[in-house]
């Protein structure tokens, strides 16, 4: 009998040690999850995986009731739960890394899709930076409101270029807003909008390349003068376009990147 008690205590001690190791493994996995959600997946325009998805399947059901009749049932149940949760989290994380790895293979394609050049030739004296991204006083009514892009002023007919490879998903006219506008979907979570155009040179569904001329500058819609309103939209939220292109680009470098509409 004494031997059985000793054996039971030994087993309990081993289970305690196993649970401590489960906790150490879980902490390491949590670190991987953080890097996955906030570094690896965003790089490729992927949505983060919510915690409820990573932990799915372990709430509300007493699936370990069969252990209640055993000695040390509490530690046995905790060990079984920890093992199942760790397995689930590891499986989800493994699938996520598979997805990231697949996109990493397309890194060259992605580098051409990210909107990484100015939409107009900012190296010339014809172009003036007239309004930045962020909150400002509306030029029409003075209200303090969000400006979701940057404004680049110039002359009517100034060439406008696609800032990354993508597909034209919308060509439209908004009388009380953007005027003539184009939206390009670049994939990987990125879209760009080109607004107040005199005219577009591409149709919906057109595949465009970075540096390809897609429109000419105008003064249509809700506009106080000839300019391009340019937006970068990442994962359905506007972001500062100036964070994506080199504001100090040289004339020769820009000329090498773009080509007029043929």
Q: Judge whether residue 81 has pLDDT over 80.
A: no
Same domain, 49 and 178: no
- With respect to residue 151, please indicate whether it lies within any of the assigned structural domains: yes
- From 72, 105, 138, the end of a domain falls on 105
pLDDT tens column, 1-34: 556 556 656 666 776 777 777 778 778 878 888 8
pLDDT tens column, 32-44: 888 888 877 877 7
- With respect to residue 262, please indicate whether it lies within any of the assigned structural domains: no
Name the strand (E) or helix (H) holding 171.
Answer: strand 166-174
What whole-number distance in Å separates Cα of residue 206 and Cα of residue 214? Answer: 10
Cα→Cα distances 198→19, 181, 214, Å: 67, 9, 11
In this prediction, residue 218 carries a pLDDT of: 98
- From 80, 105, 130, the end of a domain falls on 105
pLDDT interval class at 157 (50, 70, 90): very high
From the number of C-beta atoms within 10 Å of its C-beta (0-12, 13-18, 19+), residue 69 rates as exposed
In this prediction, residue 32 carries a pLDDT of: 83
For residue 167, the domain's CATH number is 2.70.70.10
Pairwise pLDDT comparison (102 vs 236), residue with the higher score = 236
- Catalogue the long-range contacts made by 174-178 (C-beta closer than 8 Å, 24 or more residues apart): 174/221, 175/221, 176/221, 176/222, 177/221, 177/222, 178/221, 178/222, 178/229
- With respect to residue 93, please indicate whether it lies within any of the assigned structural domains: yes
pLDDT tens column, 197-208: 999 999 999 999
**15-29, 84-98, 215-229: which is most confident:** 215-229
Same domain, 250 and 135: yes
The helix-helix angle for 2-35 and 73-104 (nearest 10°) equals 30
What whole-number distance in Å separates Cα of residue 114 and Cα of residue 257? Answer: 14
Same domain, 137 and 197: yes
Expressed as residue numbers, the domain containing 91 is: 2-105
Cβ pair 190, 232 in contact under 8 A: yes
- From 55, 75, 105, the end of a domain falls on 105
Same domain, 224 and 129: yes
Q: What is the mean pLDDT of the chain?
A: 85
Same domain, 148 and 237: yes
For 225-248, what is the mean pLDDT?
Answer: 95
State the total domains in the chain: 2
In this prediction, residue 262 carries a pLDDT of: 43
What whole-number distance in Å separates Cα of residue 145 and Cα of residue 129? Answer: 19
pLDDT tens column, 62-77: 665 655 565 555 666 6
Query: What's the whole-model pTM score?
Result: 0.65
In this prediction, residue 261 carries a pLDDT of: 57
**42-56, 60-74, 94-108, 158-172: which is most confident:** 158-172
In this structure, what DSSP letter does residue 210 have? Answer: T
- With respect to residue 247, please indicate whether it lies within any of the assigned structural domains: yes
Contacts of residue 85, defined as CB under 8 A and 6 or more positions apart, other chains included, come to: 26, 55, 58
For 191-201, what is the mean pLDDT?
Answer: 98
What whole-number distance in Å separates Cα of residue 186 and Cα of residue 163? Answer: 9
Same domain, 90 and 132: no
For 41-57, what is the mean pLDDT?
Answer: 77
pLDDT tens column, 114-130: 999 999 999 999 999 99
- With respect to residue 118, please indicate whether it lies within any of the assigned structural domains: yes
What is the C-alpha radius of gyration for the chain, rounded to an integer number of angstroms?
Answer: 28
């Amino acid at each position: 009998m004494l031997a059985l008690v000793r054996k039971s205590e030994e087993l309990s001690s081993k289970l305690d040690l196993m649970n401590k190791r489960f906790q150490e493994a879980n902490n390491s996995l949590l670190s991987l999850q953080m890097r996955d959600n906030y570094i690896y997946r965003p790089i490729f325009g992927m949505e983060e995986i919510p915690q409820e998805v990573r932990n799915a399947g372990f709430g509300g059901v007493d699936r370990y009731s069969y252990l209640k009749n055993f000695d040390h049932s509490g530690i046995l149940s905790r060990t079984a739960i920890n093992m199942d949760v760790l397995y689930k989290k590891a499986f989800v994380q493994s699938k996520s890394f598979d997805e990231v790895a697949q996109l990493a293979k397309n890194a060259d394609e992605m580098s051409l899709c990210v909107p990484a050049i100015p939409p107009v030739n900012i190296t010339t004296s014809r172009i003036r930076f007239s309004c930045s991204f962020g909150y400002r006083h509306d030029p029409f009514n003075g209200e303090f409101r969000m400006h979701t892009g940057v404004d680049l002023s110039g002359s009517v007919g100034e060439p406008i270029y696609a800032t990354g490879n993508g597909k034209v998903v919308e060509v439209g006219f908004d009388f009380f807003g953007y005027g003539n506008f184009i939206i390009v979907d670049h994939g990987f979570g990125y879209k760009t909008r080109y607004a107040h155009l005199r005219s577009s040179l591409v149709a919906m569904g057109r595949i465009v390349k970075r540096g390809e001329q897609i429109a000419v500058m105008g003064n249509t819609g809700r506009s106080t003068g000839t300019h391009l309103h340019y937006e970068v939209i990442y994962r359905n939220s506007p972001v500062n376009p100036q964070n994506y292109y080199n504001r100090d680009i040289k004339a020769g470098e820009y000329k090498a990147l773009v080509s007029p509409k043929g």
